Amino acid sequence: MSKKVQVELFLLDNIIWVIVVAFFLLNALFTPYFASYANIINIFYHSAILSMLVLGLGLTIMVGKLDLSLESTLVFAPGLATIIMTKWIAGSINPILLIILTLIVGGLAGYINGIFIAMIQVDAFLQTLSMMIILRGLALFLLPFSIYPLTNIVGRAFTFPGGGRIFWDIPVAIPIVIVIFIFFHFLLHFTPYGRRVMSTGGNARASFVSGIDINKIVISIYILAGILAAVAGVLAAGKQDSISNSMGQGMVLLAFAGAILGGASSEGGKGTALGMFGGALLLGMFSNSLNLLGVSINLVYAAQGMLILVAIVIDRIRIKIRSKLLQYEKIKELDASEKK
């Protein structure tokens, strides 16, 4: 493959960062206070929760699946963990144990999805849709009223990672999210596991024939997605110092847009963790700029819907351009071989 085509494919796969930079510069020029230090920190902070759902959903898209239940896992995991620690287990609250329990609950929700989808062959859309409704219903039952204030109930277990600040007034959530994305970038691109994930999403049948246990890969991806949703729940609960049964509602569709904008393809087998971070960041900048411009909240919601449509269209265009580039390169190689 020629270097020109390699560069074109690289730019095609990382077009999100071109869009992010262009969008930032445009708003820096025309949107008041957009480029200020405080607002930049604000964008990163308010993108943190959604970015975890973007990454979780993006992972499932990479293996050719989908997970609509992440927005319900976001509230169910910290909600159930808090109830277990405060009502079902008497004694002092251990903050680290509470967070670990929250991540376990999220992982178990993902494991159930993975078992039904991989082992029983239930359609991913229908399985995760039903799980979304089940977990939201359980959250409504277990949390008829908000748990507030969390600081007085469970200490700083949630409020430190979700609402704490460190040097230069940077929210703790920002470095947490950055470290998670760096970890997944390394996991997906520099480990055998990551190569198996990409292979499973790109061609499950060929991966199975080559000896990859695709069922284990799919189940593990759903477990990771559930854990990431639980992390989002920890950050959301800490940010608002409460757990309410409405947390996360409607976020999964935006997460889908962020994952697709970030390079994950609906065909599976493509995507990068850093690209998905860019997708989440773009969504954060988009909402932030509209708010700074004083756009009505209803129009912001409509604009977000348009962004989802744009993400889908970009995905289809990206697939067609990639296909044409590879086809053109293949024809050139065939012509060169015939001349020899």
Q: What is the pLDDT of residues 249-277, one digit of tens each?
A: 989 989 999 998 888 887 787 888 999 99
Tokens of 300: 């912001």
Task: Tell me the mean pLDDT in the region 203-209.
Answer: 88
Mean pLDDT (the chain, rounded) = 89
Give the whole-angstrom CA distance, residue 305 versus residue 323.
28
Query: pLDDT-based confidence at 232, cuts 50/70/90?
Result: very high
| 139, 76 Cβ separation under 8 angstroms | yes
Cis previous bond, 171, omega within 30:
no
pLDDT of the residue at 336: 67
pLDDT of the residue at 339: 65
Query: pLDDT-based confidence at 3, cuts 50/70/90?
Result: confident
Main-chain phi, psi angles of 243, to 5 degrees: -125, 115
Residue 146 has pLDDT above 80, yes or no: yes
Q: In percent, how much of the chain has pLDDT > 90? A: 59
112: nearest Cα among 252, 223, 205: 223
Query: pLDDT-based confidence at 10, cuts 50/70/90?
Result: confident
| 64, 233 Cβ separation under 8 angstroms | no
Q: What is the pTM assigned to this prediction?
A: 0.92
Query: pLDDT-based confidence at 29, cuts 50/70/90?
Result: very high
127 burial via Cβ count (<10 Å: 0-12, 13-18, 19+):
buried
Task: Tell me the mean pLDDT in the region 161-185.
Answer: 93
| 279, 16 Cβ separation under 8 angstroms | yes
- Any idea which of 61-70, 167-176, 216-225, 297-306 has the lowest mean pLDDT? 297-306
Give the whole-angstrom CA distance, residue 208 versus residue 212.
5
Query: pLDDT-based confidence at 340, cuts 50/70/90?
Result: low
Task: Tell me the mean pLDDT in the region 210-226.
Answer: 95
pLDDT of the residue at 251: 92
177: nearest Cα among 291, 81, 290, 41: 41
3-state SS assignment for residue 224: helix
Q: How many CB atoms lie within 10 A of CB 197?
A: 27
226: nearest Cα among 73, 41, 14, 72: 73
State the Cα angle at 54 between 197 and 213, rounded to 5°: 15
Task: Give me the half-sphere count of Cα atoms (radius 13 Å) on the Cβ side of residue 118.
Answer: 25
Question: Tens of pLDDT along 73-122?
Answer: 999 999 999 999 888 776 667 888 999 999 999 999 999 999 999 999 99
